[in-house]
Amino acid sequence: MNDSSLVPDEALPLGFRFAAVKAGIKPSGNADFAVAVADVSASAAAMFTGNRVVAAPIIVGRKHLARSAGHVRVVAVNAGNANCATGQIGIVACQRVCSAAAETFQCEGHEVFPSSTGIIGVPLPAEKPIAALPEVAASLGATPGHFAQFARAIMTTDTRPKVACASLKLDGRLVRIAGVCKGAGMIHPQLVPHATMLVYLFTDAAIEPSGLDTLLRQSAEVSFNRISIDGDTSTNDTVLLLASGASSVQVDSTNTSFLGALTEVCTSLAKQIVEDGEGVTHVVELRIEGAATDRDALTVAKAIAHSPLVKTAWAGCDPNWGRLMAAAGYSGATIDPERINIWFGEQQICKNGGRVANFDEAAAHAYLKQREFIVRLDLGIGNGKCRFWTTDLTAEYVRINADYST
Amino acid sequence: MNDSSLVPDEALPLGFRFAAVKAGIKPSGNADFAVAVADVSASAAAMFTGNRVVAAPIIVGRKHLARSAGHVRVVAVNAGNANCATGQIGIVACQRVCSAAAETFQCEGHEVFPSSTGIIGVPLPAEKPIAALPEVAASLGATPGHFAQFARAIMTTDTRPKVACASLKLDGRLVRIAGVCKGAGMIHPQLVPHATMLVYLFTDAAIEPSGLDTLLRQSAEVSFNRISIDGDTSTNDTVLLLASGASSVQVDSTNTSFLGALTEVCTSLAKQIVEDGEGVTHVVELRIEGAATDRDALTVAKAIAHSPLVKTAWAGCDPNWGRLMAAAGYSGATIDPERINIWFGEQQICKNGGRVANFDEAAAHAYLKQREFIVRLDLGIGNGKCRFWTTDLTAEYVRINADYST
C-alpha cells in the first residue's frame, strides 16, 4: 500500500510535524511509537474514556493539560502496551517517557501528551520509547507520508490506517483539519468531557482551548459516542484536538462552518473504526426514530448494537427481526410494541409490532447480504431519534479475541 | 438416553400428570407440545420476563392467573414457535389453544396456563397443538418417564433435558418438589414479580397462592436472576410454580425448610441452563465481594458476564484479567481500581489493581482450561456481594445463532 496517498498533498494542517519508529514494544516488530510535534505550543482539547479504570497515560495526560492550561507541544503515543492496571509503576513509566520527550523536543514535561494502547496489566517498558526518541527527532516531517506513518504506528488489531481530512475557507483563507485514529475492538466509547480508541485531530485554525473544547464535545457526541463494535468501553480511549494557529485564521466556539467540517472528519473516522472492527463482515447504520426522547432513541440503539443475538443474526444475513424487537423491549426505553415499525433499507419488515402481511423473506435476506446496510426502527411514540453505527458479531471476532497460546 | 432415569422413582410430587406429543410445530419433527395436568386445581405463582415486548402466552397467562386468583389445572407448552410479535392474531391463537385444552381436560379456560418458545415473529399454527390434544389426554401419566418426556418436548436449542428434584420431611410427612426447564440462548432472565427460559416447578405441599408467590420470588432472585449466557433478555421467560396439596402438608411463606429445598431445585435448574448454553465450553461462577452494596456487586457481575472481550478470553483459556478490570470500570458500580483484588480459583492474579508480583501465567492458563472455574473479584469497598453463573462466548455460539439458510 502506498501510504502517502492516504492524505492528499496540501491537506495537512500547517504547524505540525509527524514521525513514527519501531521502538520494540509490539511483538510483531512493527512501528509502535508515534510522535506529533507542534512547531509552537498548540491549543488543546481532549476527551477521555468514561471507564472508572483508566490507564496511566490518561491520568498523566489530564494533569498535563490542566497544568499547561490546555496547551500541547508533543503528542507521544505507543502501541503494544496500554499501560493500564499498572499502578504507580505505570504512572512513573509514563512520566519518564514524557520527561525524555520534553528534553528531546525542548519543551516542558507538561506540554507532552502521552497515550498508550495494547494489552492491559503488563508494565510498560519505558526504556524502549525513550531509546527511540533520537530516531523520532531525526525523522520528523510534515508530508502526507509522515502522517500516514503516524497512523500506521498506532494500530493494534486494526487492519488499516485511518485518516480523514477536511478544509474550509474562512475570511478568504484556508483552514485545514486532519484526523487520525486507531481502534477495532473494545469499541464502545463513552467519552466524557475530559475514550482503546485513540483519535488525534489537528487543525491550523487559531482557537483558544476553551472554544476548542466546546467544538470537540459537540463533534464527538454525534460521531465517536455513536459507535459500538463489542460494547466494551476501553480504559484508554482518548480524543485529542490540537490547533496550531498557523493559518492565522481565528475561530471561536460558535463557528458553525468549522464545527461542520470538524464533525465531518470525526464522523468519517468513527465510521472507519466500525468498518475495520474485529472480524466484521457487516456494518450497520441504525436509525432509531419516534422515541420519547433522543436519549431513549440512543438507549434502544445501544441495546440493539450490543445484543449478541441481533449481531449474530446479521452475521448470518438472517432477517430475524424478532431479535430487534426483543432488544428494544429490554432496553429500558419507553416502548409500545404495537406501535413499532421496522425497515431493512426501503423494505418494511414489521408493522405495528407484527410481521408485514407481504413479508418477502428472500428480499430481506438478499438486502442483509450486503456488507453495509441500514436498519430503521420507528418506535411511534415521540420525536426522539439518533443514528448509530455498529457491526455484526462473527466467529472471526471470537477467534481474534480468544486467540491465546502459551 | 434412558430418559426415565432423569428423575428417581417416588420423587415426583403427587397430584400431577404429564404428557408430551409431536404436534408438528418443530421443523425437526420432534415432540413439541407438552402438558401438565393437576388432578385438582393447584395453587399457582408465576414470574415473567422484564422485557417490555412480551409474547402472547404471557399476556394471556397473566390474565388467567388473575382471573383464577392464582389457580391452574393445565399447563400447555409448545416449543418451535414463541408466539411473540404476533399481535392480536397471536393472542387469539393462544386463547384458542387454552379453550381447546380446557374442553379436553374439563376445566375453565382461565385455569389453563399457556407457554410458547421458539422463533419470534411467526404466527403460531394453533390448529397443530389443538389437533394433538386427544393424543395428549390419552398419554398422560405420573411416572418419571412421563416427566422426562415433558422436559424433552419443551427443548429448543437445548442439547439435553433439565430437571431437578428435592424432598423434605415436614411434620413427619414427605413433601416433594420437582422442576423442569429449558433454555440455552437468549438467556439473561430479569424476572419481575409477574421471565425464552421456561421453568415449571411442581410440589405436593399445600400452599396458598400468595405464600407460594413469596417463596417463588425469593428462590428465583438468587437462582434464575443470577445467570446470563448472552445478556439477551427474552420476551417469553416464564417461571411457574404449582402446588397440588396432595401431600396434605400445609406450608406457609415463612417456612425456611421448604424455601431452602425450593431454592436448591431452582439453583440446580439455573446452573443446568448455563451448563447447556449455546456453544458453551466454559461455565464460570463469578463471586463478587467487597462491593458498596449487593446491587453494585450484581452490576459488576453483569458487566463481566456480558463483556464479549471477557467471554472470548475465557473461550481461549486466556488469563487476561485486564478485561475484567475494564468491565468492572465501565459497569457503573462504585469502584476504586487500586483496591481491586482478583483470584482465579485459589490463585491471586491481581492485587490492589495491579498484577501480583509472582504472577504465574502458566498456572492461570491451566486453571482456565477447566470446563468449570471460579473467578472471584473483591472490590475492597464494602460488604456487598453476589454469586452469578455465566459462560464463555465461542465461535460455536456465533455459528448456532448466525445459521440461516434460505
- B307-321 pLDDT, tens per residue? 988 999 999 999 989
| Residues of chain A with C-beta less than 8 angstroms from the C-beta of B309 | 185-186, 230, 232, 401
Q: Would you state the pLDDT for residue A406?
A: 37
Closest CA to A237 of A249, A229, A245: A229
- Closest residue in chain B to residue A353, using alpha carbons only: B85
C-alpha A71/C-alpha A76 separation (Å) is: 14
Tell me the nearest-neighbour CA distance from B145 into chain A, angstroms.
34
Q: Output the CA angle B205-B206-B207, nearest 5 degrees.
A: 105
Task: State which amino acid sits at residue B349.
Answer: I
User: What is the percent of chain B with per-residue pLDDT over 90, rounded to a whole number?
Assistant: 65
pLDDT averaged over chain B?
Answer: 90
B90 pLDDT band, cuts 50/70/90, is very high
Do residues B400 and B156 lie in contact, with contact meaning Cβ atoms separated by under 8 Å?
A: no
pLDDT at B275 > cutoff 70: yes
Q: Chain B partners of A230 at a C-beta cutoff of 8 Å?
A: 308-309
Res A189: pLDDT: 67
Does residue B406 register a pLDDT over 60? no
Residue of B nearest to A304 (CA): B232
pLDDT of residue B1: 42
Interface test with B, best of A401, A403, A405 (most B CBs within 10 A): A401
The one catalytic residue among A49, A104, A117, A196: A196
Measure A389 CA to nearest chain B CA, in Å.
Answer: 18
Determine, for residues A235 and B329 on separate chains, whether the beta-carbon distance falls below 8 Å.
yes
Give ∠ CA A387-A296-A271 in degrees, rounded to 5. Answer: 20
**Whether pLDDT at B336 is above 60:** yes
435476506: which residue's cell? A365
Task: List the catalytic residue out of B86, B117, B196, B391.
Answer: B196
Contacts of B90 in chain A (CB under 8 A): 354
pLDDT (tens digit per residue) in A140-161: 999 999 999 999 999 988 888 9
ipTM: 0.74
Residues of B in contact with A402 (CB under 8 A): 312-313, 315-316, 318, 394-395
pLDDT at A286 over 90: yes
* Rounded-to-integer distance, Cα B191 and Cα B13, Å: 25
Chain A nearest CA to B243, separation (Å) = 31
Q: Tell me: is residue B81 an annotated ligand-binding position.
A: no
To the question of whether residue A196 is assigned a binding role by annotation, the answer is: yes
Residues B286-298: pLDDT tens digits? 999 999 999 999 9
Q: What is the pLDDT of residues B243-257, one digit of tens each?
A: 998 899 999 999 999
- Given a cut of 50, is residue A190 above it in pLDDT? yes
- With cell 408430551, the residue in question is B20
Per-residue pLDDT tens for B14-51? 999 999 999 999 999 999 999 999 999 999 999 888 78
Predicted pLDDT of residue A11: 86
Quick one: CA torsion of B330, B296, B392, B266, rounded to 10 degrees? -160
**B26 is an annotated ligand-binding site residue:** no
- Report yes or no: A105 and A226 within 8 Å, Cβ to Cβ: no
What tens digit of pLDDT does each residue of A4-48 get?
Answer: 678 888 889 999 999 999 999 999 999 999 999 999 999 999 988
pLDDT at residue B405 above 70?
no
Which pLDDT band, with edges at 50, 70 and 90, does A50 fall under? confident
Asked if A316 lies within 8 A of B402 by C-beta distance, the reply is: yes
pLDDT at A104: 98
**What pLDDT does B121 receive?**
84
Instruction: Indicate whether B99 pLDDT > 50.
Output: yes
The answer to whether A307 and A319 have CB atoms below 8 angstroms apart is no
B404 has pLDDT over 70: no
Task: Say how far apart CA A400 and CA A185 lie, in whole Å.
Answer: 10
> How confident is residue A113, by pLDDT bands cut at 50, 70 and 90?
very high
Q: Where are the beta strands (DSSP E) in B107-256?
A: 112-119, 162-170, 173-182, 198-203, 238-243
Average pLDDT over chain A reads 90
Determine how many CB atoms are found less than 10 A away from the CB of residue B2. Answer: 7
CA distances from residue B26 to A193, A270, B32 in whole angstroms, order as listed = 52, 43, 6
DSSP H or E segment with residue A74: strand A71-81
Residue B190 in 3-state DSSP?
Answer: coil
The confidence band for A87, taking pLDDT boundaries of 50, 70 and 90, is confident
CA neighbor of B280 nearest in space, from B236, B315, B329: B315
Indicate whether B366 pLDDT > 90: yes
Note if A104 is an active site residue.
Answer: no
* Burial label, B371 (beta-carbon count in 10 A; 0-12, 13-18, 19+): exposed
**Domains annotated on chain B, with CATH:** 3-275 (3.60.70.12), 283-402 (3.10.20.340)
Lowest mean pLDDT among A98-112, A178-192, A253-267, A288-302: A178-192
Find, in chain A, the residue whose alpha carbon is nearest to that of B364.
A406
CA B151 to chain A, closest CA, distance in angstroms equals 25
The answer to whether B278 is a known ligand-binding residue is yes
B401 is in an annotated binding site: yes
What's the confidence (pLDDT) of residue A14?
A: 93
CB contact under 8 A, B316 and A403: yes
pLDDT digits (tens, 9 = 90+) for B144-191: 999 999 999 999 888 889 898 999 998 888 999 998 888 877 667 666
State the average pLDDT over residues A384-394.
94
Better-predicted residue by pLDDT, A68 or A403: A68
Residue tagged 477521555 (cell numbers)? A48
Say which of B87, B318, B354 has its CB closest to residue A402.
Answer: B318
